[in-house]
């Protein structure tokens, strides 16, 4: 088995050195080359034949976004991981890059002068993403999915009322949510709670962008927010999000409890809490993402009698999270069919609401 070849494109010498050290520390990876500008990086691709590129978002001259656009024109299937700053500007550029075809992103250490913690954080985030995106080389493609599964077909939930939609998503999530949420009507009859694996700043900007595209209201979650129909709440970066009873209402609660599945926010705490509060009236949805976050929470939803849907492998950027819950899911669907299935289920026991904005729903 050959090593995964990584091309580093970053204008900062200290970051190129940091990434070189991190990549060289793993026996399955090697640095194929490094470039200080986007134009040099583009010229090096045919020379060094990389399997994946790490690309700085903000560079003088040819920006990371401009470089990505050219990469996608010439090498549409070459994985590209953006390397961005943990700032509003960096978050905006990263979301733009994901919309333009970047495979994933990693955030730079907040202070490169304090290297130990920064290097460890980047290593823990970057190396697994490289290996998953290049699983065809490592031969571990099957490691992210169950060897066999049978969707859980339950007649008991065929007529069950749904009172909340809970969504868990990670790698590929911003684009998946941008495709899904605008298909739901403004008068969507239940609240939506979402965990997207993202750091602070990124989640607020993501919510703002989704709110501008969707008919329903999308916002970053905060403590005490009351769950009402037609509103989608996204967990804030670095905070777990749960739901709890407050008299006759259900409200949001965020906390800094330890990460679960190496994530904060994590899907499992949200799914556990909706199962506790709503019981069998939960519809859980697991979309594209790396790892298995959401599996344990989905077990709680199943045990409470709730319903589970998962995105299919063909339309997922990474079929780790949805693949992990495939054996618990009642249906495994391509992304473009999920809005119809959601609406079908939330309409049970209610007067029919509007159809999705750009799809036709037949009774």
CA distance 343 to 219: 21
Active site residue 170: yes
A 10 A CB-CB count for 17 gives: 15
Active site residue 298: no
Q: Are 318 and 132 in contact (CB under 8 A)?
A: yes
CA 54, 58, 60, 64 dihedral sign is: positive
Catalytic residue among 197, 268, 298, 312: 197
Active site residue 257: no
Give the bridge partners for 274, in sequence order.
Answer: none
Q: Are 188 and 195 in contact (CB under 8 A)?
A: no
CA distance 216 to 230: 5
Helix, strand and coil in the chain, % to nearest 5:
40, 20, 40
Residue 11's SS3 state is coil
Q: Are 361 and 340 in contact (CB under 8 A)?
A: yes
Cα distances (Å, whole numbers) of residue 217 to 182, 245, 253, 283: 10, 22, 19, 19
State the DSSP code for 2: P
Catalytic residue among 170, 273, 298, 316: 170
Q: Which of 326, 358, 329 shows the shortest CA–CA distance to 345? A: 329
Catalytic residue among 10, 51, 293, 312: 293
87 prior amide bond cis, ω within 30: no
Active-site annotation, residues: 170, 197, 293
């Amino acid at each position: 088995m050959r090593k995964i070849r990584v091309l580093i494109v970053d204008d900062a010498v200290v970051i190129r050195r940091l990434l070189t050290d991190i990549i060289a520390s793993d026996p399955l990876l090697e640095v194929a080359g490094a470039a200080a500008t986007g134009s040099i990086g583009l010229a090096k691709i045919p020379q060094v034949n990389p399997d994946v590129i790490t690309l700085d978002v903000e560079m003088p001259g040819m920006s990371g976004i401009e470089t990505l656009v050219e990469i996608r024109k010439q090498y549409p299937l070459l994985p590209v991981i953006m390397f961005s700053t943990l700032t509003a500007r960096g978050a905006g550029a990263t979301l733009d890059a994901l919309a333009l075809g970047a495979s994933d992103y990693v955030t730079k250490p907040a202070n490169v002068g304090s290297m130990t913690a920064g290097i460890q954080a980047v290593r823990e985030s970057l190396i697994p993403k490289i290996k998953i995106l290049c699983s065809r080389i490592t031969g571990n493609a099957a490691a992210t999915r169950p060897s066999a599964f049978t969707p859980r077909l339950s007649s008991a939930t065929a007529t069950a009322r749904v009172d909340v939609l809970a969504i868990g998503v990670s790698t590929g999530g911003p684009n998946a949510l941008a495709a899904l949420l605008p298909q739901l009507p403004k008068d969507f009859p239940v609240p939506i709670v979402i965990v997207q694996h993202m750091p602070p700043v990124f989640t607020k900007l993501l919510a703002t962008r989704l709110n501008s595209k969707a008919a329903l209201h999308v916002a970053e979650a905060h403590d005490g927010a009351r769950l009402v129909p037609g509103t989608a709440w996204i967990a804030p970066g670095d905070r777990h999000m749960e739901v709890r009873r407050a008299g006759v209402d259900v409200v949001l609660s965020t906390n800094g409890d330890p990460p679960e599945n190496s994530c904060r926010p994590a899907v499992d705490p949200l799914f556990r809490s909706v199962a506790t509060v709503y019981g069998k009236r939960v519809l859980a949805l697991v979309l594209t993402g790396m790892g298995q976050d959401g599996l344990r929470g989905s077990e709680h939803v199943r045990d409470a009698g709730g319903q589970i849907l998962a995105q299919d492998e063909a339309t997922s950027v990474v079929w780790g999270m949805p693949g992990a819950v495939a054996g618990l899911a009642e249906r495994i669907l391509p992304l473009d069919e999920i809005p119809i299935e959601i609406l079908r289920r939330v309409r049970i026991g209610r007067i029919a609401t509007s159809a999705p904005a750009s799809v036709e729903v037949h009774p």
